[in-house]
Amino acid sequence: MSKFRFPFQRATASKPSVVAPSQAPGADFAPLPSNLTAERVLHVQHYTDRLFRFSITRPTSFRFRAGEFVMIGLRTDGRPLLRAYSIASPPWDDALEFYSIIAPNGPLTCRLKHIKVGDEVLMAHKPTGTLVLDALTPAKRLFLFSTGTGFAPFASLLREPETYVKFDKVIVTHTCREESELRYSEDTVNALPDDPLVGEAAPLRVTRYATCTQDTCRRAGRITDLVSSGAMFDDLAIAPLDRTHDRAMICGSLPFIHDMQLVLTNAGFVEGSNASPADFVVEKAFVG
């Protein structure tokens, strides 16, 4: 169902542990460890000089749940260099999408920022993560709180039909330093009406609340403050957080996660996990 197709052959989990040499110019020809597969870049879009999204081919055997992450990376000096990335595309899509920051001196992202269509990207076979619907007990509203690239797993969950089976309303928040950094979440939410699977349900059920903190934009402020003061609920004309009806997911920087966790625990929310579903779950966004 992806718009993007690419004619390169895929390496999948069912193939031998040593994959075929890359066709990409400049790639080295060392065999890959058996836990990795070599995929191809299908699409790259740069949003700012620090942020870009890209999609890669998906092995037919690769399964994941919306909200999970996987190790991806590049061959550097003959060795795989990998980092955890949340999968931003939904589980039904043919391609896998990722949203990346370019970290200053980040060993992987300084290389990854140069990828172009047809290049090789390495990926582990096994996804994992806590930002999954299974880790939350049933309720009416789902709050997805993100900063920076922490929006990525929510881009997947917003396009997952199960989200709308489990929740009546989804409120997704995205806070960045500058307004230009909010565009990925804006594009994602604006595209929901055209989505082949959630195009009917999502536009009626999803509310996006975007704020920035170091720039003049329509809504200013940290989401922790806007939730604690009640300003967000006034702005959206919705009921305040209530553990009886609400569940939440948090994804972003460590300081943000810590402070947002406090906001939720102070409101009586209990942290859950895959093994023990409860009121909210957290995950650190990839940064390096």
Among 193, 199, 240, 255, binds ligand A2P (CB under 6 A): 255
Among 94, 162, 259, 271, binds ligand A2P (CB under 6 A): 259
Q: Is the dihedral of CA 67, 281, 183, 159 positive or negative?
A: positive
How many C-beta atoms lie closer than 10 Å to residue 31's C-beta? 12
148 touching ligand A2P, by CB under 6 A = yes
Give the residue among 63, 13, 64, 65 at the shortest CA–CA distance from 39: 13
Structure tokens at 111: 């290389």
176 touching ligand A2P, by CB under 6 A = yes
227 touching ligand A2P, by CB under 6 A = no
177 touching ligand A2P, by CB under 6 A = yes
Q: Is the dihedral of CA 147, 150, 155, 156 positive or negative?
A: negative
Residue type, 248: A
Adjacent-strand bridge partners of 280: 248, 271
Structure tokens at 116: 């172009």
2 touching ligand A2P, by CB under 6 A = no
How many C-beta atoms lie closer than 10 Å to residue 166's C-beta? 18
Least spacing, CB of residue 214 vs ligand A2P, in Å: 5
Q: Which residues, 6 or more positions from 208, have their beta carbon under 8 angstroms from its beta carbon?
A: 172, 173, 174, 185, 186, 189
Least spacing, CB of residue 116 vs ligand A2P, in Å: 26
Least spacing, CB of residue 189 vs ligand A2P, in Å: 18
Among 175, 185, 188, 261, binds ligand A2P (CB under 6 A): 175
Binding to ligand A2P, residues 179-218 (CB under 6 A): 213-214
288 touching ligand A2P, by CB under 6 A = no
Interacting residues toward ligand A2P by CB under 6 A:
147-148, 175-177, 213-214, 222, 224, 253, 255-256, 259
